[in-house]
Amino acid sequence: MRLSKRLALIAGMVQSGSKVCDVGTDHGYLPVFLYKSGKCASVCATDIREKPYENARKNIEVAGISEIKLFLCDGLESITRDMADTIIIAGMGGEVISGIIERAQFLRDDTVTLIIQPTTSADKLREYLSEIGFVVVTERAVEDNGKIYSVMKCHFAGIPYPIDLTRKAVGLITPDYDEGRAYIEKQYNIALKRAEELENTDKNTFAYFESMRLSTELKKLLDRRK
């Protein structure tokens, strides 16, 4: 079974011997791959909707695996700490991911690893993580199907920390590989466009200065690499 580049990056961040739960699994490709790789001590998965849950159930059955437990529930509602030490939440908006983390208090434990991949609002998710004290230890950009995503690996430290505008926009992504550079360029173009739009309408606003400052900082980051 061949995973997409995005799912392969996520799978690569899973430590050998871990007990994994894939939240919002949909097709179930990741749990099947992780189980078959022999890398994990156990694998379980959840989905909130019937159709994806059924989809995953069928794919797990076709793969001939009876050991993957599948739950129809919101986020980690049916999962307890003893069932998983590594939680994957991928392919959802940043706000949905924050909500799932917020409702699962057992994640506030420094022995739990979170691997998360937002499709939108990655900046809001990074801000949320900093406010509740989840430290991002690894972050990589990956291009898949014409889109660029960030995948973050985090641990709970329990101490909130401030993040600046640049960190909020691009996290730990660096411009020294093609996808990292593409991710930063995308955020740079968004900030620049916003600054240009505001220049014509609301030039004396905080939002304008913030967009200007962010685009300048991201340009510096990109130029440092040249």
Ligand X SMILES: C[S@@+](CC[C@H](N)C(=O)[O-])C[C@H]1O[C@@H](n2cnc3c(N)ncnc32)[C@H](O)[C@@H]1O
Residues that bind ligand X (CB under 6 A): 23-26, 46-49, 52, 74-75, 90-92, 96, 100
Shortest distance in whole angstroms from residue 9 CB to ligand X: 11
The whole-angstrom separation of Cα 2 and Cα 124 is 31
Cβ closest to ligand X, residue 26 vs residue 179: 26
Q: Which residues pair with 44 in a beta bridge?
A: 21, 69
Tokens (6 digits) for 110? 């420094």
Shortest distance in whole angstroms from residue 186 CB to ligand X: 20
End-to-end CA distance of the chain: 38
Shortest distance in whole angstroms from residue 118 CB to ligand X: 10
Cβ closest to ligand X, residue 13 vs residue 165: 13
Contacts of 73 (CB under 8 A, 6+ apart): 46, 48
Cβ closest to ligand X, residue 100 vs residue 141: 100
Shortest distance in whole angstroms from residue 74 CB to ligand X: 5
Q: Which residues pair with 43 in a beta bridge?
A: 20
CA angle 35/4/221 to nearest 5° reads 115
Contacts 24+ apart (CB under 8 A), 4-9: 4/144, 4/145, 5/142, 5/143, 5/144, 6/90, 6/117, 6/142, 6/144, 6/149, 6/151, 7/33, 7/90, 9/140, 9/142, 9/151
Shortest distance in whole angstroms from residue 4 CB to ligand X: 8
Cβ closest to ligand X, residue 54 vs residue 202: 54
Cβ closest to ligand X, residue 52 vs residue 175: 52
Cβ closest to ligand X, residue 90 vs residue 214: 90
Shortest distance in whole angstroms from residue 179 CB to ligand X: 17
Tokens (6 digits) for 128? 């949320």
Give the HSE-up count for residue 162: Cα atoms under 13 Å, Cβ half-sphere.
Answer: 2
